Structure 1
């Protein structure tokens, strides 16, 4: 797992290394600048002119030092300073004096004509603001960011130092205006704001440079994610196991005209390791499910007689279930609400994990009484629209800080919250996980049904002891990661524009094969 820090956490790491451990600030700065200079050389040609746009803080000082290193390597570099020189940091002053002694050109915004940015700079380096920015850009800083982006429109490549100026390091929001970089070199740890949207789209290709930071003992990162290419740790699968060992998924899904959701979820549960899947659906769906998922057991009910008063019926239905998955295509009719209430009550009594998706979430938002059945082994998987209905917030409010939205829901209900978006956030007792796999081709009908099936299949094989020790939260993170990787595999094969949820479900086995 890779740790992701907020801006304030990264500042604390910086202070700890300088003030507590005694590592000189200029030593860390030289290492950071070297990493930037090396990448600048890769992004530019020997004959290119390179412009370093530097603020007055230590981010700008990093840029000044990198400019010097580039010149000493025989490249053509010049500097544009942004901000009040009277507010320059001590390190910034040191680095600028070195540049002056080396006769490296240094301009200020008031002496730098706007038309100069139209000159053919092969590369522009953004070192205006670092991770501490928390207010919208204005004045000279806003103008400088506009100049950098104008250069990019004219063909210059853009390299950001630590984080693109104008992006919040803690939530990825654009603070008025932001630099659109091709590459960002960040130091020590990746920042949350470079992973979440929209920040990640401004950061471009992200490079984490090791400059010698020692971690703060016992500091919990704001979030975690899997390293690129990391293999997930799957539940153990004993060689002498049987259907019962690997668990029975009870899938309450599908309504009239919505059989596809049940089929996709059932297939995905099998693909991710379930021993048996029982689909509980309306009579109309029996022949379709039996045809498309012949491995599944199909149990049917008639909505007209689903009155929710026969709790003994739910005891029988869940008697052998290892996990309950409810919601894909279930409908939000009154009968579905009664069915869900009965199943959730029995699942909580039996202490089996639950995965609630789609219509189960819509039924929850319409009946707050159902929240009492949520617990730490319940996984809810809302997309932004469903989360808005569950919380009463707008989608725009949720997107401003998805980490807080997911964490608040987890704290209030105890459930593992999988808040689905371009960057899915998982909040649980284990903390915050941000998923970085997947692509826009997954924005198609049925993708969420595949995820619910994957989660059900992974959770089905857990023992009671594993459930008590937090394995449900671990597997929720793993399931989201697997779902995204399957989406990436499907995109490679069919293209993001053409892939379907069925392609996604079929790709699950390809990812798992590589993990065996």
Structure 2
């Protein structure tokens, strides 16, 4: 599914208007779509906090439809009614809908009350202040007391281009996105503030026909064709070399190696200085530079970094200039951040979390979209920026719609690095977004079994099952 930022949404709206769809018709379509979702909540008492612009107009349209259908509606008007909305407003007045120009006190909060956030939409370009900030605080205060909150298009205070929330942002139970799905709702702070996301296309079933988006949700339907040929042997599925698991951290290297095997790689070698016995499925090689170089000649892809520590600089320097695809993770990313290297000559994938990305960029950041673009511009390659609403940047920008702190545990990143390498080894193209989706589906399967936590080893056991389900749809 295409996702849209402010510029792309406005461009699409202009395209529709040029084709004969008036702004009023689009607003009425939005009001009707929002009404259809709100009535499903079975709340009989509705408070709509209305700002200006299209977002406010959507709120007025919702108020009109709700009142016509005998719901109890109260409108809080934060701004003077704009000229294009006068007709709708006059109809609202004719229905004797309660309207306030100041924020009222709700005497009793019960399960029948829903507050609609129709304050600020996609045009937000600075943090809310004054009456808008006060209204956001008012909404959040009643949510804490038990009111159900629905935001129209985007929670007021959230920047849809970046997914960054303002100091005061509406904390919605549900966000109903109209016409275009808004990219900032799917990552970063957007996950926290948006609640359950509902997308209403307003009858435009193929919305990208009118304008392409700024990013995409990861969708891997009909893309997973791993091990589809039965007339094969293990040499057909590629060889992965793991450079990791050094100095007492052998578990991290093992997790990456086993994940690559579970994803379908034919052979996995592991290079580390541990004297502990490796899993029988992994082929151990010595850690000296000569043995490492010899294995590089037969490998198809390398994973560098899981549990590597700081004592493999010679290996990493050789690898940077060696013509082989590499997945850089964990300690290999830390090495890169402290080096002077830029733009690796051969293909690679970086898989940082927030802390590692901050080191690589040598600056703090909130805008995850900008950060991943900077990583690609600075170092080349493709990137996976892990976190809530993981971002993937190849030739296109993807967002993974899974976000759950169940993944915030040691070893899960090593598993992801192994899955990425397992796919690359099979030479099915550079669709690293597939690896991210497989990884999150492994976690989601565990979560749906009503488990609040997981271990990386549990995720390993799910990889084969997830791939089987994806292959067989």
Q: Using structure 1 for the length normalisation, give the TM-score.
A: 0.86
Partner residue of 1:115 out of 101, 105, 108? 105
Residue range with higher mean Cα deviation, 194-203 or 269-278: 194-203
Q: Tell me, which stretches of 5 or more residues in structure 1 are unaligned?
A: none
Question: Would the aligned equivalents of 1:450 and 1:505 in 2 still touch at CA under 8 Å?
Answer: yes
Question: Would the aligned equivalents of 2:75 and 2:100 in 1 still touch at CA under 8 Å?
Answer: yes
1:34-433 paired onto structure 2 within 5 Å: 34-45=32-43, 48-83=44-79, 85=80, 88-109=81-102, 112=103, 114-116=104-106, 122-213=113-204, 215=207, 219-227=211-219, 230=221, 232-235=223-226, 237-285=228-276, 287=277, 289=278, 293-302=279-288, 306=289, 314-333=292-311, 336-346=312-322, 348=323, 352-369=324-341, 371-375=342-346, 377-394=347-364, 397=365, 400-428=366-394, 430-433=395-398
Measure how far apart 1:494 and its partner are. Answer: 6.6
1:480-491 paired onto structure 2 within 5 Å: 480-491=436-447
Question: Would the aligned equivalents of 1:56 and 1:92 in 2 still touch at CA under 8 Å?
Answer: no
Change over 3 Å in CA distance of 1:509–1:62 after alignment to 2: same
**Using the alignment, how far apart are the partners of 2:335 and 2:270 within structure 1?**
19
Encode CA deviations 1:170-229: one digit per residue, 9 max, x unaligned.
1122233111111111112211111112122211111100214474668542211135x9
Measure how far apart 1:140 and its partner are. Answer: 1.2
Encode CA deviations 1:330-368: one digit per residue, 9 max, x unaligned.
1112xx00011223323x2xxx32111111111112222
Measure how far apart 1:44 and its partner are. Answer: 3.0
Partner residue of 1:477 out of 433, 436, 439? 433
Partner residue of 1:509 out of 444, 461, 464? 464
**Using the alignment, how far apart are the partners of 1:152 and 1:218 within structure 2?**
37
Question: Would the aligned equivalents of 1:28 and 1:212 in 2 still touch at CA under 8 Å?
Answer: no
Question: Would the aligned equivalents of 2:349 and 2:384 in 1 still touch at CA under 8 Å?
Answer: yes
Question: Would the aligned equivalents of 1:248 and 1:278 in 2 still touch at CA under 8 Å?
Answer: yes
**Using the alignment, how far apart are the partners of 1:117 and 1:456 within structure 2?**
59
Change over 3 Å in CA distance of 1:482–1:27 after alignment to 2: same
1:441-480 paired onto structure 2 within 5 Å: 441-462=406-427, 471-472=429-430, 474=431, 476-480=432-436
Question: Would the aligned equivalents of 2:344 and 2:381 in 1 still touch at CA under 8 Å?
Answer: no
**Using the alignment, how far apart are the partners of 1:422 and 1:482 within structure 2?**
16
**Using the alignment, how far apart are the partners of 2:197 and 2:84 within structure 1?**
26
Measure how far apart 1:91 and its partner are. Answer: 3.0
Could you say what the CA RMSD is over the residues aligned between the two structures, in angstroms? 2.1
Question: Would the aligned equivalents of 1:58 and 1:89 in 2 still touch at CA under 8 Å?
Answer: no
**Using the alignment, how far apart are the partners of 2:248 and 2:147 within structure 1?**
53
Encode CA deviations 1:225-273: one digit per residue, 9 max, x unaligned.
135x956534463211211111011111111211101111111001101
3-state SS of 2:52 partner: coil
Question: Would the aligned equivalents of 1:438 and 1:487 in 2 still touch at CA under 8 Å?
Answer: no
Q: Tell me, which stretches of 5 or more residues in structure 2 are unaligned?
A: none
**Using the alignment, how far apart are the partners of 2:362 and 2:66 within structure 1?**
53
Change over 3 Å in CA distance of 1:259–1:119 after alignment to 2: closer
Query: Which of the two has greater helix per residue?
Result: 1
3-state SS of 1:373 partner: coil
1:7 aligns with 2:15: no
Change over 3 Å in CA distance of 1:253–1:343 after alignment to 2: same
Change over 3 Å in CA distance of 1:51–1:231 after alignment to 2: farther
